[in-house]
């Protein structure tokens, strides 16, 4: 492997040294895509962790805008995000790109429901035409207090083999 090819992996040297991951596992992470439904307290931590671990594409779907009362538990955000009146998905994308500029972040400002869950899973963002449908994800991260949400995401994802 040339020096140029290995440089992107230098960032993940400690993960690569961990035998269960290794170089092959890190390359799989870099090629993977994850869907995060909700970027609140747990979703923002998951997004942060996956970005730092080198998951190649993070698709973050959240309909909410940041509020000051979010900041004590949503550690990815700060007062500047609240002052800018940013949607959580957009603010998260901005922060995560600063953490890891080598991965793709796809913010989608939308409410995930039974009618669009599979669209969220397969969606890619096109800034010229708005959200469009085109890409697949390797897995999804969902954390919502709403039991109906958990049910319809499981109904949509499990039959498709998406953990």
- Whether residue 19 lies inside any domain: the answer is no
Distance of alpha carbon 59 from the chain centroid: 4
In a domain, 91, yes or no: yes
114 domain-assigned: yes
Query: Does residue 14 form part of some domain?
Result: no
Q: Determine, yes or no, domain membership for 132.
A: yes
Between CA 75 and CA 42 the distance in angstroms is 9
Domain count of the fold of the chain: 1
Tell whether 22 is covered by a domain.
no
N residues, the chain: 163
163 residues of the chain, pLDDT tens digit each: 444 455 779 999 999 999 999 999 999 999 998 888 889 999 999 999 999 999 999 999 999 999 999 999 999 999 999 999 999 999 999 999 999 999 999 999 988 776 766 665 554 333 323 343 224 545 444 444 544 444 444 555 555 555 4
What range defines the domain where residue 124 resides?
A: 32-160
Domain containing 125 — which CATH number? 3.40.50.720
């Amino acid at each position: 492997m040339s020096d140029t090819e290995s440089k992107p992996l230098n960032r993940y040297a400690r993960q690569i040294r961990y035998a269960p991951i290794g170089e092959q596992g890190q390359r799989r992470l870099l090629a993977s895509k994850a869907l995060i439904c909700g970027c609140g307290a747990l979703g923002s931590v998951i997004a942060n962790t996956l970005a730092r671990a080198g998951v190649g594409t993070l698709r973050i779907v959240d309909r909410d805008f940041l509020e000051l009362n979010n900041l004590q538990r949503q550690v990815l955000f700060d007062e500047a995000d609240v002052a800018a009146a940013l949607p959580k998905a957009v603010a998260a994308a901005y922060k995560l790109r600063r953490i890891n500029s080598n991965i793709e972040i796809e913010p989608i400002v939308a409410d995930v429901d039974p009618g669009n869950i599979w669209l969220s899973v397969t969606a890619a963002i096109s800034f010229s035409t708005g959200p469009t449908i085109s890409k697949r994800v390797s897995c999804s991260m969902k954390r919502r207090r709403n039991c109906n949400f958990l049910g319809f995401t499981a109904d949509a994802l499990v039959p498709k083999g998406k953990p």
